[in-house]
Amino acid sequence: MFIGTLKKGKSLKGYIDKGLVEVHNIKKRHEALAKEMKCRGMNHQSPLEDVSLYVSGKVDTEANIKELKRRCPDCLSRMNDICL
């Protein structure tokens, strides 16, 4: 999603301001997620296109977990079970 946004010339400012993305680490993060998908037996079918990245943003782990819990009821349930 982020690569597509950048290729369209659109800003990631909102994601950066909320601590949800480090632009310079998008490729590294994609590779880690693809590897995890394969380890879980999933078929990764979204190769990453080349795009120029720039250094910007600092991921706020707590904000990311909060957003994930908001978007995914299953994740909220699993995290609540783990993080009592």
- Its pTM stands at 0.64
1, 47, 53, 18 alpha-carbon torsion, rounded to 10°: 30
Residues 6+ apart with CB under 8 A from 29: 22
Work out the percent of the chain whose per-residue pLDDT is above 90: 17
Span 2-40, pLDDT tens digits = 888 888 889 999 999 988 889 999 989 888 988 989 988
pLDDT, residue 83, reads 53
Question: Domain total for the chain?
Answer: 1
Q: Find the domain containing 42 and state its range.
A: 2-82
- Taking residue 2's Cβ as centre, other Cβ atoms within 10 Å add up to 19
Mean pLDDT, residues 59-76: 87
Nearest CA-CA partner of 48 in 59, 33, 70, 63? 33
Rounded distance, CA 23 to CA 30, Å? 11
